[in-house]
Structure 1
Amino acid sequence: MEQLSLFGELPPATIAIKESASRLGVSTATIRNWIKTKYLQEAGKGRITLESLEKFQEEVSGKDKLNKRANKSLKDSHDHKNIVSVFLEKKILSPSVSEKTGMEYEASLSDSYRNKEGIYYTPNEIVRHLFSVPEAETQGATFCDPCCGSGNFVIRALELGFKPENIYGYDIDPVAVEMTKARIYRATGYKSDKFVVADFLNKATLPENKKFDFIYTNPPWGKKIEKKSKKIIGSILGAGNSLDTSSLFFFACIKCLNNNGQLGLLLPESFFNIAVFETARRQALALSIERLIDYGKVFKRLVTNAQAIVLRNRTTDTFAAISCETLGGVFQRNVESFRYNPRSILNMHCNDVDSATLQHILSVKHITLKNNALWGLGIVTGNNKKCIKSSPENGYIPVFKGADIQPYFLKQPSAFIPSDMNLYQQVAPLQFYKAKRKLIYKFISSRLCFFYDDKQRFILNSANMLIPKESFPISTKILGELLSSEFMNWIFLRIFNTHKILRSDLELLPIHSQYLTNMSRFNERKYLEKLDIEKDSNGTYRIKN
């Protein structure tokens, strides 16, 4: 028996969660996750035991991990005033200022600063391909780059024949503005006063704002703006629910564009297909889109594709051709073919014949999964290394990963976790996992892959699940077979072209339930016959002649 002190057993020493987060260099949310995964021991509201923290530092986090975190902090540290001073004094005044200077400046910025401001300077080869205007149209015309960066679009404007006195620009970074002005002077001998250190979004919301004949730019991707400010700017610009930075710049550029003026924007892939940008896409389709371009993965630090839109500020001509330029080739589409898409998705990878087939499929009466199913995420353990075993143990249950899910079978489980669901960071309601019938599917995948589960299996967060409501007119098993079919995968690829299987996308897929009610198993051939669709030898689906 342990000796007690004069005043009884002393309570364990504790430390505030906020203080422990500061000590480890992490967020308080991370500390709470470590409490939930039993790395740290809670000791009353907002506190943990000092002993568990010290043990965690010594045995779990370890010196190497803490050093890595410290090194990352150093990498993310950013003395922007000093960097600005160096480039203004030494680089910008140099007679050799060029695109390379911009690359050097971008490289000097920390990862955290680039991410915060959404800074990704546009490579010259992209600028030259995107910004292409006949010289006759540049004479006397005004040009603006609202986010001029190192000045690549501005130099391209000079090459195309725009007069330096008719070229304008904005940027919140004084180095960017001075760099661009220096490049103009070096190229033409003209000392421009048309470039301003200012936030173009704020300029565009003013009652009186200058308008331009041509605007080409690469706006900040994911720039961090306060939610309240976004709503105010979005309200003034008429952006609706499209309040991402890229969307706000799109609406700001439209507002500052003369009638029949031309706009070219380099944007993240999400602008063209994700729900939050739908208002922006509808606005684009109301105008005259001339080109849609996919450049693939342009920026080293980003996994998303860079895509572009070029349009005229005039009412659209329904029969006008839009040039779709992708890595797979170039083809023409009319604007109506995009308007028919769910959420006005600009699926530029879908050619005109595929688009006509899609229009036909979507025109036939159908239902969707929206408001017709319950949806659940797989278990987020918070620490897979600690929680998951590769073989069964007492008190452990099998759990399935996304990689285990195949269209018509499930691999044998290779992961086992403790059955106590309170151990984990995130768990869907237990009744979802224990539903009599549900569909489980891969989350990270370019193909739809569903498995019909009637054994109440548990899944990890590389998989998700859906449970059709009792009122849904077809069986869960048939639904799973339909969603995994080649036909539905063809539809999914032609509309969404993504590597994540999102609930919001699944909820838009057409389900022609009237042709499925009498099936005991899904039969694609019979389903296609009802839809007047045929599959050719190349695996492509077409309207029957």
Structure 2
Amino acid sequence: MSKEHMTITELSEYLGISEATVRNWIKLGKVVATKKGKKTVILNSEVQKLSESLNSSKMLTSRRNKSRLGLNYIPRSYISKKSPNYKTILSMIGTFQEEALEITEVISFCADMLMTSQGIPKEIRKSLLPDNSLGVNIKELFSSYKLIYVPFEDTLGLIYISLRRLQDKKATGSYYTPFYAVDLIINSLPDTSQNICDPACGTGNFLLRLPDSYPLEMVHGYDIDEIAIKIARINLAIKYRISTKKQLDIIERNIRCIDFLGSNEDIPKADIIIGNPPWGSSFSKEQVSELKKNFESILGKGKPESFDLFVERAVKSLTSSGNMLFLLPETILGADYHESIRRFIEKNSFVSEISYLGDIFDKVQCPCIILRLDNKRKDQITVRHYKKEKKELITCEREYVVNSHRINEKSFHILADNEQYKLIEKILSVPHFTLEGQADFALGIVTGSNRSVLSKTPFDGWEGIIKGSDIHKFFYDEPKSFAKFVPQNFQQVAPEHMYRSKEKLFYKFIANEPVFAYDSKGTISLNSANILIPRVPGYSALYIMAVLNSDLMSFYYRHTFKNMKVLRSAIESLPIAKCDNDTMNTISTLALDIADEKKTSSEKTSRLNALIDNLYSLDKNKFTFTV
């Protein structure tokens, strides 16, 4: 999820120093830099070496720590930046970096401060603290810092996450649930008090944000991180203002350090299971072998995905009328890799809600959803589409209810409301063909190193090469890059005849709708511009391109598929209307004219769209292709 390098500007911001200092270090050989195009960049491996050397040297003053930490070690949106504790935590972590301290010491100091402020008795505080041996040093270092108890805020969790990331030398790669995403799940819980469980609770941020009226004895949480579990217990002790040994026993009994996926311990059935299960956990061969004995959703030789396993175990751990609400990557709804968990869900539970959240994690392209499953039969699915308005605000733009027959193991995506779905059914009802088995596909060239293979100058024997950014509907821009076609110099390349075909279509690989351009010049392309050569008897490539580029097909695609990449499987399933030869020739001629004129919008484009609407028996005056 992170870049492989930093620019000088990014490194200076990361370290909290001037760009001039970074440039000077490069000259002195303290930082090894390289060229990427016109930019000087520093590989992440070099950044890590530098970071480690700085932590054990005096190359920078302490002001470096606070600036650097604020940008890289504080998980954004985990708590509100408006919190009175945010800047205090930033400073505390800066102090931690300057001194040789144990994480448990800092956590214990902060936890004791918060528990004392909320009147938790001394004996209970001592029982809950992860480290009871606080030295004079830690008290002196942090005595000036004052944390304020903020209801529902995982203050201690933020400190722990930040310290752990700092100690592990990992500035990227882990992303934590923004508080407003947690609240979307919490706010949709039923009003009745039922046994609730977060099976990967971490420091308890989901449980902490439950209504105060929720009975303590009904709150459960598990995690494999022992320190996180200790913090979760402290969080609940503060939330419920516990004062007795009986309450402490409830917390210690309900919040446990166990592996939800592999534990042999008796885990009680829950009425509600919530949370954000781990994504992309690594498992040893031995663990995979053991997991395969207990999980239906592990198929084939591929590595199991941890969030799939959590979903399966959650469904099995629910009461007969229970429900699960998990924050998950959107890929679980449609990717082939997750078809087995969708099949398990269809057999063992019912999808009742899907909320599309988009990219809720800062600077990370990983669209998320909230998936709600019910063990009690549900015939309808509520679908919501959210939009992130500001850093700490997410609002629902659309909501609709559809029949549950709309999903199957191939895809759980529901992107069209009922009116839009009628239009999709109308499109599918006309006589049509697809490209499955009737087209050749080829990947554009994978150079292995664009910098060494491409040139901005057309040398003798070099030719223009198309990129995805060059492609528009119907045409492509004149190439801005050039390459010499020597297959053995490339990392991956299709057979040359595919590129040299007398007639082919380029399509943009990264796009949210079909974008096809016509080529009859034998032009080569990079893998951001892939190739389609239709072979449908009686239908020209120009006709097929026109239909695929139409407003109608864009509507169909955007309400059927949801992927940042235009995949071959999606293209092969698009319904291309059959027509008579005269209509096909008329549309083909118009499409060629548009391609030759190289205009993205024109009177001819409007005429073409109208002709294609007629093919599907749609009257444009009676409907609009809305998003």
User: What TM-score, normalized to structure 1?
Assistant: 0.76
The aligned counterpart of 2:262 is: 202
The aligned counterpart of 1:418 is: 484
How big is each residue's C-alpha offset from its partner over 1:337-385, in whole Å with a ceiling of 9 and x where there is no partner?
6227x922323x4222112222343355544333433322212222222
1:273 matches 2:334 = yes
What is the SS of the residue equivalent to 2:436? coil
The aligned counterpart of 2:398 is: 330
Residue range with higher mean Cα deviation, 410-419 or 326-335:
326-335
Q: CA deviation at 1:154?
A: 1.0
Q: CA deviation at 1:200?
A: 1.4
Q: CA deviation at 1:181?
A: 0.5
Q: CA deviation at 1:257?
A: 0.9
2:233 aligned to which of 173, 181, 187: 181
Answer whether contact 2:154 2:205 (CA < 8 A) is retained: yes
Segments of 5+ residues of structure 1 without an aligned counterpart are: 1-24, 26-56
CA RMSD of aligned residues (A): 3.7
The aligned counterpart of 2:465 is: 399
How big is each residue's C-alpha offset from its partner over 1:98-123, in whole Å with a ceiling of 9 and x where there is no partner?
51221222223449979999753322
How big is each residue's C-alpha offset from its partner over 1:235-273, in whole Å with a ceiling of 9 and x where there is no partner?
632215594222221111111111110110111122223
Cα distance in 1, alignment partners of residues 112 and 581 from structure 2:
72
What is the SS of the residue equivalent to 2:192? helix
Cα distance in 2, alignment partners of residues 281 and 536 from structure 1:
39
Letter in 2 for 1:169: G
Answer whether contact 2:268 2:317 (CA < 8 A) is retained: yes
Letter in 1 for 2:584: M
Spell out the pairing of 1:329-408 with structure 2 (5 A cutoff).
329-336=397-404, 338-339=406-407, 343-347=410-414, 349-364=415-430, 366-408=432-474
1:256 matches 2:317 = yes
1:104 matches 2:80 = no
The aligned counterpart of 1:455 is: 521
What is the SS of the residue equivalent to 1:451? strand
Q: CA deviation at 1:184?
A: 0.8
Letter in 2 for 1:474: Y
1:503 matches 2:503 = no
1:222 matches 2:280 = yes
Q: CA deviation at 1:158?
A: 5.0
Spell out the pairing of 1:100-179 with structure 2 (5 A cutoff).
100-110=155-165, 119-132=174-187, 137-138=192-193, 141-157=194-210, 159=212, 161-179=213-231
What is the SS of the residue equivalent to 1:202? coil
Letter in 2 for 1:215: I
Letter in 1 for 2:275: T
Answer whether contact 1:533 1:541 (CA < 8 A) is retained: no
Q: CA deviation at 1:170?
A: 1.2
1:95 aligned to which of 114, 128, 141: 114
Q: CA deviation at 1:452?
A: 2.3
Q: CA deviation at 1:393?
A: 0.8
Cα distance in 2, alignment partners of residues 121 and 406 from structure 1:
38
1:309 matches 2:309 = no
2:618 aligned to which of 505, 511, 533: 533
Change (3 A) 1:448 1:134: closer
Answer whether contact 1:143 1:162 (CA < 8 A) is retained: no
Q: CA deviation at 1:447?
A: 3.0
The aligned counterpart of 2:539 is: 474
Change (3 A) 1:219 1:367: farther
Change (3 A) 1:223 1:513: farther
For these two proteins, the number of residue pairs brought into alignment is: 474
Cα distance in 2, alignment partners of residues 247 and 517 from structure 1:
51
Change (3 A) 1:197 1:367: farther
Spell out the pairing of 1:473-492 with structure 2 (5 A cutoff).
474-492=539-557
Answer whether contact 2:539 2:584 (CA < 8 A) is retained: no
Letter in 1 for 2:201: C
What is the SS of the residue equivalent to 1:495? coil
Change (3 A) 1:170 1:58: closer
Letter in 2 for 1:334: V
Change (3 A) 1:279 1:413: same
How big is each residue's C-alpha offset from its partner over 1:269-317, in whole Å with a ceiling of 9 and x where there is no partner?
2222323223333444563333221233221252122210123112332
The aligned counterpart of 2:83 is: none
Letter in 2 for 1:72: Q
Cα distance in 2, alignment partners of residues 169 and 304 from structure 1:
26
What is the SS of the residue equivalent to 1:95? helix
Change (3 A) 1:500 1:136: closer
Cα distance in 2, alignment partners of residues 374 and 389 from structure 1:
29
Change (3 A) 1:107 1:339: same
How big is each residue's C-alpha offset from its partner over 1:198-217, in whole Å with a ceiling of 9 and x where there is no partner?
221213xx596531111001
Answer whether contact 2:48 2:169 (CA < 8 A) is retained: no
Answer whether contact 2:510 2:528 (CA < 8 A) is retained: yes
How big is each residue's C-alpha offset from its partner over 1:179-225, in whole Å with a ceiling of 9 and x where there is no partner?
1100111122132122222221213xx59653111100101122233
Letter in 1 for 2:422: A
How big is each residue's C-alpha offset from its partner over 1:59-92, in whole Å with a ceiling of 9 and x where there is no partner?
879xx756753223566999xx986544554444
What is the SS of the residue equivalent to 2:371? strand
Q: CA deviation at 1:433?
A: 1.3
What is the SS of the residue equivalent to 1:295? strand
How big is each residue's C-alpha offset from its partner over 1:435-489, in whole Å with a ceiling of 9 and x where there is no partner?
3332211112223211122222100122111223x46663322222221111111
Change (3 A) 1:58 1:272: closer
2:351 aligned to which of 282, 289, 293: 289
Answer whether contact 1:321 1:335 (CA < 8 A) is retained: yes
Q: CA deviation at 1:494?
A: 1.1
Residue range with higher mean Cα deviation, 494-503 or 410-419:
494-503
What is the SS of the residue equivalent to 2:576? coil
1:72 aligned to which of 44, 48, 61: 48
Change (3 A) 1:105 1:304: same
Cα distance in 2, alignment partners of residues 109 and 516 from structure 1:
68
Letter in 1 for 2:219: I
Change (3 A) 1:133 1:123: same
The aligned counterpart of 1:20 is: none
Letter in 1 for 2:45: R
Letter in 2 for 1:302: V
Change (3 A) 1:207 1:101: closer
Identity value in percent: 25
Change (3 A) 1:489 1:325: closer
